Amino acid sequence: MNTSEQHAHKLIALLAQAGHETRFVGGAVRDALLGIPVGEVDLATTAQPEAVTRALEAAGIKVVPTGITFGTVTAVMEGKGIEVTTLRRDIQTDGRHAVVQYTNDWEEDAARRDFTMNALSRDASGKLYDYFGGVEDAKAGRIKFVGDAAARMKEDALRLLRYFRFYAWLGKEAPDAATMQAIENAAGSLKNLSRERVWKEIKKLLSAPNPSDSWMMMLKHNVVAAFFPEGQNLKTLCNLISYEHVRLVGKEANPLLRLAALLDGQKIDANALKERFALSGEETHKLGQFLKNPLSGQGETDLATLSFALYRYGIDLTEEFLVLNMAKGAQFNWESARDMLENWQPKTFPLKGEDVLALGLPPGPRLGEVLHKVEAWWVAQNFVPDRAACITKAKSLINN
């Protein structure tokens, strides 16, 4: 039992003392059932937010009204938050937001959840409550909507993308035709979702060990065309995943690297994707590096180019450049590249701007140009020339 689960048990006990039933819900229940390490813990309760707040604050626990419109408060314990949400039912939905009403009916609350495996709940004693066959579906790797698939997606269009995200991580059984048809019919509703919510789901999907089957289904059923028509290159994605398993062993999947693979062959700027998905500045920068990949190009990657990439970007990023290039079909001597990667030591360019200024070249674009050319020459010389040699090279460039 991790710390979050221990904290959750304390919250359940405190709310029980105040006369309210509280259970574990959502991913924590599903993952425990499947033997997956439990991360985030969420609780549902018969207590309304004000009652939750009173009971917990009386015990000295900080409570933050993080989603009070939907009956959610967050209990903060040792710097970590646990969401506690009042049982509810939807009385009005528009595909993005819901108006809810509190209830004491656990099955009614479970009925508003997306998939059967996410509609499970568990009490403090460990007893499981399964109203829709979620235990069997979870064990079978069957991603199944609670009730009618079309109705669930009409309530919240994001569930369409969540389906493929959960399939990428937990799916084993092939989807049924009726569900796929409902998804295809609902694909147009994705345009109404916020950019942030869409990217959050796609990032989680692309972080799965192998999201290629999910993406293939999304292509087949016009889901990709509805929100990301440029992301069509399934072949490069599949190649990339294969090389990742061999060349990037032990490293977490990089969703931005996989996004770049899907964009192979497309002329699109990272800033355009920033607008499309509300990417962060860091995400936009990293995606831009993959799209511009310094090792890209036809033919064999030479070791001088690889040396420059290692010097400029470091080992981890250069490895990702390499596997992306391999996924695109580039050829090079992997053994030589591996030796260089394994024995690489960070280098420091010995020439500085002040050195060039001392040679009589005034500040301006020309100074940057000379520095850049000397640096490229230094890299091509396998980083051997010292500061004096670099100054001599700068002099020759200035004189010419």
Tens-place pLDDT, residues 254-289? 999 999 999 999 989 999 999 999 999 999 999 999
Instruction: Supply the pLDDT for residue 331.
Output: 77
**Residue 132 and residue 136: Cα distance in Å, rounded?**
9
**Residue 321 and residue 306: Cα distance in Å, rounded?**
10
Domain(s) of CATH 3.30.460.10: residues in the chain: 1-140
- Options 3.30.460.10, 3.40.250.10, 3.40.50.720, 3.40.50.10440; CATH for 1-140 is 3.30.460.10
pLDDT in tens, 294-314: 887 655 667 778 888 999 999
How buried is residue 260: exposed, middle or buried, by Cβ count under 10 Å (0-12/13-18/19+)?
buried
The conformation of residue 124, written as its DSSP 8-state character, comes to T
120-142 burial, b for 16+ CB within 10 Å, e for fewer? bbbebeeeebbbbebbebbeebb
pLDDT in tens, 3-30: 889 999 999 999 999 999 999 999 999 9
Residue among 357, 347, 332, 343 at smallest CA distance from 386: 347
The conformation of residue 140, written as its DSSP 8-state character, comes to H
Helix (H, G, I), strand (E, B) or coil at 100: strand
Q: Where are the alpha helices (DSSP H) in 171-229?
A: 177-186, 195-206, 212-220, 223-227
Instruction: Supply the pLDDT for residue 301.
Output: 66
One-letter amino acid at 184 equals E
- Grade residue 206 by pLDDT with cuts at 50, 70 and 90: very high
Instruction: Supply the pLDDT for residue 218.
Output: 98
- The architecture that CATH gives domain 148-226 is Orthogonal Bundle (1.10)
Strands 22-25 and 42-45: antiparallel
Mean pLDDT of all residues belonging to the chain:
92
One-letter amino acid at 152 equals R
Instruction: Supply the pLDDT for residue 357.
Output: 93
Instruction: Supply the pLDDT for residue 332.
Output: 75
First vs last C-alpha separation in the chain: 71
**Percentage of the residues of the chain whose pLDDT score is greater than 70:** 96
What Rg, from alpha-carbon coordinates, does the chain have? 27
Calculate mean pLDDT across residues 237-248: 92
Instruction: Supply the pLDDT for residue 84.
Output: 97
Is-contact 113 131, C-beta < 8 A?
no
Domain(s) of CATH 1.10.3090.10: residues in the chain: 148-226
Tell the residue number behind the tokens 């695109």, with chain if given: 328
Residue 111 φ/ψ, nearest 5 degrees: -65, -20
Calculate mean pLDDT across residues 133-159: 96
Q: Is the pLDDT of residue 68 over 90?
A: no
Which regions of the chain does DSSP assign to beta strands (E)? 22-25, 42-45, 62-67, 72-77, 80-86, 88-93, 98-102, 121-122, 128-129
Q: Which two tokens stand for residue 195?
A: 């950019």
pLDDT in tens, 315-359: 999 999 999 999 998 877 777 888 888 889 999 999 999 999 999
**Residue 211 and residue 190: Cα distance in Å, rounded?**
20
Q: Is the pLDDT of residue 95 over 90?
A: no
Calculate mean pLDDT across residues 249-255: 92
